[in-house]
Structure 1
Amino acid sequence: MAVPPAYSLVATDLDGTLLRGDDTLSDRSLAALARVTRAGARHLVVTGRPAPRVRPLLDTLGGTGLAVCGQGAQLYDAGTDRLLWSVTLDRELAETALGKIEAEVGQAYAAVDQDGVRGLTLIEPGYLMPHPTLPAVRVERRDDLWCAPISKVLLRHPSLSDDELATTARLVVGSLATVTMSGPGTVELQPCGITKATGLALAAEHLRLAPERAVAFGDMPNDIPMFDWAAHGVAMAGAHPELKAVADEITLSNEDDGVAVVLERLFPDGVRQ
């Protein structure tokens, strides 16, 4: 009789984790995720990307199920192309938070992800997209960022490091928003109390899966709440030190198929749920 796998839920971040630097998935990673499916477990993408920027990747994965998007602010059903759940960031609070941050650090540059499955990423003059492959629409002035409901604000500073910007933002923003750091050049403001863990917990409840049988993979501080929620957290070799400090295990880099290496161990062929 086949021994069931230890985990019934695999949660993976995308950028810097499952995806290679060119935004592609390796054949080895795809094969490892197929092992997860054959074992009867579920794979959930848990990403800071908004739903419209995740759909093409889910097509590559053959996914028709759920994905946690927008740092946990969106629960997206790929099969029906709709949001089962979403939380928006109040635009007046976002403007206030941004003003408080700039009062401390000087001019920063901002972008927003609009809510909805057709939402756009808008960037103000001076903002450079950290992922140049992701589509964005440049607006003429900052006020244009607030023209429709948003799920989050993305910030960059011309001289401060991401860690310095995030630290200052947390000190001055308070309860106006949750501050996260999700990748190089990516400090974000999202609805207060919303994290990857809140979105992942909602998805797991929908699927009737428990954190005690969940393994999570990530590379940045925004993945810490997800690691706290899951039974086992795996950080990538190039992960931020804050995430490595709370990880249960450190694997190889995303370029070296670090996720696949662990999944091949946890889900050997022939194991069934």
Structure 2
Amino acid sequence: MAAPLVFSLVATDLDGSLLRGDDTLSDRTLAALARVTRAGARHLVVTGRPAPRVRPLLDVIGCAGLAVCGQGAQLYDAGADRLLWSVTLDRELAATALGKIEAEVGQVYAAVDQDGVDGLTLIEPGYLMPHPTLPALRVGRRDDLWCEPISKVLLRHPALSDDELAATARSVVGSLATVTMSGPGTVELQPCGITKATGLALAAEHLGLRAEHALAFGDMPNDIPMFDWAAHGVAMANAHPELKSVADEITLSNEDDGIAVVLERLFPGEV
């Protein structure tokens, strides 16, 4: 009888972790993910990107199952192209939170991800997309951001660093929203209490899997709750210091196939 798998669930962040800087995956990484599947374990994408921005990448990976999107606010069924679960950020609370932040730091520039499998990313004047390859629709004024239900708000400041903006936002937003930092130029407001860990836990429950058998990869502070939930957290070499400080292991960078290196060790040979 074969020995039981140490990890039956592999959760990977996308940007800065599984993906290279040009939004592609190397052949080595794809082969390593195939090892996971052949071993009988499940691979789950756990990302800040909303479901519509994840769908094309899941096709490349060959994932027709579940994906955790929108920082945990969406559980997406790729095979059925539908959301099994979603939580929206109250738009009045979002506007209030923005006002509190701007009262402290001056003008910020905002964008929103709309809810739903066909939701748009809307950006107000002055906001620059941190990922220029991702589609976005520019609106004429901030009020236009609130035209449809949203899953989160993305913030940028013309002078403050991401760490400074996130720290100030946390100090003034309180229970209006959860503040996360998910990448360079990406400070976000999402529904209060929603994190990658809440979304991953829900996905695991659907699959009949448990945290003690979960392996997680990430690169930014928004991955900390996921590391806290999973049995083993692996930070990329390019990861933010906050995530490295709580990681169980540090691998190579996303450009150097860091996730593949670990998966090849844990899922050796052909199955």
RMSD: 0.7
CA-to-partner distance for each residue in 1:148-204, whole Å, 9 max, x for gaps? 000000000000000000000000000000000000000000000000000000000
TM-score by length of 2: 0.99
Q: Contact 1:89–1:191 at 8 Å: present in 2 too?
A: yes
* TM-score, scaled relative to structure 1: 0.98
Equivalents in 1 of 2:173, 2:270: separation in Å?
51
Q: SS at 2:158's partner residue?
A: coil
SS of the residue 2:255 aligns to? coil
1:270 Cα offset (Å)? 4.2
Instruction: Report what 2:68 is aligned to.
Output: 68
Distance 1:115 1:79 in 2: 19
C-alpha separation in 1, matches of 2:135 and 2:207: 31
Q: Secondary structure at the match of 1:255?
A: helix
Tell me which residue corresponds to 1:84: 84
Separation in 2, partners of 1:14, 1:4: 28
Task: Find out whether 1:148 has 2:148 as its counterpart.
Answer: yes
2:20 is aligned with 1:20: yes
Displacement after TM superposition at 1:269 (Å) = 2.0
Q: Deviations over 1:96-140 (max 9, x none)?
A: 000000000000000000000000000000000000000000000
Partner of 1:121: 121
- Paired letter, 1:107: Q
Within 1, Cα distance between the matches of 2:240 and 2:183? 9
What is the DSSP-based 3-state SS (H/G/I as helix, E as strand, rest coil) of the residue aligned with 2:43? strand
Structure 2 counterpart of 1:186: 186
Matches within 5 A, 1:1-273: 1-270=1-270
Matched residues, number: 271
Alpha-carbon distance in 1 for matches of 2:196, 2:152: 13
Distance across 2 between alignment mates of 1:12 and 1:215: 8
Q: Contact 1:5–1:266 (CA<8 Å) still a contact in 2?
A: no
Aligned mates of 2:269, 2:74 — CA distance in 1: 33
Listed as ranges, the gaps of 5+ residues in structure 1 are none
DSSP-derived class of the 1:125 partner: coil
C-alpha separation between the residues in 2 aligned to 1:104 and 1:86? 31
> Structure 2: where are the runs of 5+ without partners?
none
Shift of 1:251: 0.1
